Structure 1
Amino acid sequence: MTPAEYVATAGASDLYEITSSQIVLETTQNSQLRSFAKMMITQHTKSTADVKGAAKRSRIAAPPPKLTPLQNELVTQLSSESGPTRDAAYIAQQKAAHGQALAVQKAYAMEGKAAPLKAAAQTIVPVVEHHIIMLKAM
């Protein structure tokens, strides 16, 4: 994965996490899920800033993140649900998305070509792992 591909992929992942979490916050009555979604917004906003800063230090362009077609589909699906059905869909989507995010972050943390981006990925890996542990408990 090139540095530019990593920046784009990580940015899309964070944007999806933030967007889907904002959607679930609109309606969830589940306090545990509400806390988790708020944490997702905060921590994925931070990781976006970290990657953007690392990209700048690496002299890699960091255009604004864009959702992939699949992520757009998932956001649309989540928006069409409500109540406990939305909550369940959100949890299922988060489990899958975090598994994918972990794979990307681990791969770049081990084999990334741009040192600042590699360091950012290394700090993001344990955060994503913690999110996965939390999701398994839901």
Structure 2
Amino acid sequence: MKKTIAVMALSALFAMPIAAQAQQAVTPATGTPTKMKAATTQGDFVTMAVSSNMFEIESSRLALEKSQNAEVKRFAQKMIDDHTQAGANLEAALAAGPKSEIPTRLDPKHERMLEELRAASGAQFNALYLQQQLAAHDEAVGLFQGYSMNGEAGPVKEFAAQTLPTLEMHRTMLGKVSAS
């Protein structure tokens, strides 16, 4: 047993530098680390963040309509309020710095998730809504964390850093709502 724990600890220790290298691409000619596109370009960040935000709002509006669970409805209202504010904050950040195009539609993945949610009802709806919210928040936390650490300096990067704690709080709330 002790040997197994020691092997797992050593594996984790040796895996950390490999994981850190995977987070950075290296320019072959210079060996200089470059930032990964998905986590660092403002346009990509804005596109992904806006689709995620729209999904959170639209799916939560569905939860207010379809759920009979008071905790789910309370959580859904919090999502609508916080993500509506986040959208306004992102627009303000974009107005203060370099412009990026703001999508007006969900990306195909979020659209499929919303369609699945529209088709669900009752307890199945609640379970699917909470499951999708957890997946969406896990993805959003990763996106915002990556951009706040590695993104282009400016108002959008500051927005990502300021919004990240709210997204992490939503994930914690999800655990409590799912448990109830």
Normalising by structure 1, we get a TM-score of 0.95
Correspondent of 1:103 among 132, 139, 142: 142
Range 116-125 or range 54-63, more displaced: 54-63
What is aligned with 1:43?
A: 82
Q: How far apart are 1:55 and its partner, in Å?
A: 1.3
Equivalent position of 1:5 in the other structure: 44
Following TM superposition, where does structure 1 have runs of at least 4 consecutive aligned residues deviating by more than 2 angstroms?
61-66
CA distance in 1, matches of 2:101, 2:151: 16
**Distance in structure 1 (CA, Å) of the matches to 2:131 and 2:85:** 23
* Residue of structure 2 equivalent to 1:78: 117
Q: With a CA cutoff of 8 Å and minimum separation of 6, indicate the structure with the bigger relative contact order.
A: 1
Q: Structure 1: any 5+ residue segments left out of the alignment?
A: none
**TM-score computed with the length of structure 2 as normaliser:** 0.74
Give the root-mean-square deviation of aligned CA atoms: 1.1
Segments of structure 2 that go 5 or more residues without pairing to the other structure are 1-39
Which one has a bigger Cα radius of gyration? 2
- Counterpart of 1:35 in structure 2: which amino acid? R
Summarize deviations over 1:61-96 as a string: whole Å, max 9, x none: 342442111111000000001111101000000000
Mapped partners of 2:80, 2:104: distance in 1? 15
